[in-house]
Chain A
Amino acid sequence: ETGVTQSPTHLIKTRGQQVTLRCSSQSGHNTVSWYQQALGQGPQFIFQYYREEENGRGNFPPRFSGLQFPNYSSELNVNALELDDSALYLCASSLGTGRLVGGDTQYFGPGTRLTVL
């Protein structure tokens, strides 16, 4: 186990609704990244937070937003859900510097399976 937890495990929503997913980082980690993994695909980077600030963003629309709290836990919010948002949402924590280091080991949580009907 990586020490990264996510809730809920599974979630079913309907199109147009909003959803909030939660992630608790591994103890001592200050960086959280969120990924979307569609069935049969590799994870796709959504965004990363370092010390409560967004530190990078992938090719996702603004209706995907996030927060990181002082205890380094994090939320992913998705508004106006679409059918294509159905996926496994993964968060990964790491101990980063926020600078251009790269290559630090990321520890993934078990994911939240979101189904949009």
Chain B
Amino acid sequence: SQKIEQNSEALNIQEGKTATLTCNYTNYSPAYLQWYRQDPGRGPVFLLLIRENEKEKRKERLKVTFDTTLKQSLFHITASQPADSATYLCALGRYGGSQGNLIFGKGTKLSVKP
């Protein structure tokens, strides 16, 4: 069955550094990949989407890469701030199913220390 792994449950970094989160998957061929941010007790908030034919996407301090050969996505937050502390989820989806049928990883909890 399909499996998604996010590199670690928790990542601690210093303010100003670049945070890099990893999402690996097996037994799946996604058409696109999404990254979400989730704060405690809240629903996930959509951040970025990248499609299988795209290598990289950027949005302000965020950058996502997608390597379908390695079956991996990297999510970068540059110049990290304490306000970036949250759990980040990756989610895979593909055409041929209902739009809501995303497969989520467990998430990585990022803590940015001042």
Interface residues of A (CB under 8 A from B): 2, 4, 31-35, 40-45, 47-48, 50, 55-56, 58, 90, 92, 94, 96, 100-111, 113
Contact = CB atoms under 8 A, between A and B. Distances in A.
Contacts of A103: 31-32, 34, 49, 51, 93, 99
Contacts of A50: 98
A105 B100 CA distance: 10
A39 B10 CA distance: 15
A103 B54 CA distance: 13
A2 B34 CA distance: 17
A2 B95 CA distance: 25
Contacts of B106: 40-42
A104 B44 CA distance: 15
A50 B101 CA distance: 13
Given A103-B32, A105-B49, A110-B43, A45 B102 contact: yes
Given A108-B44, A110-B42, A45 B31 contact: no
B105 A42 contact: yes
A106 B46 contact: yes
Contacts of A108: 36, 43-46
Contacts of A43: 44, 89, 102, 104
Nearest to B96: A100
B43 A90 contact: yes
A106 B43 CA distance: 11
Contacts of B32: 102-103
Contacts of B44: 43, 90, 108
Contacts of A47: 100
Given A103-B32, A103-B93, A48 B98 contact: yes
Given A40-B106, A102-B31, A2 B101 contact: no
A111 B43 contact: yes
Contact of B107 (A2, A34, A42, A44): A42
Interface in B88-114: 89, 91, 93-107
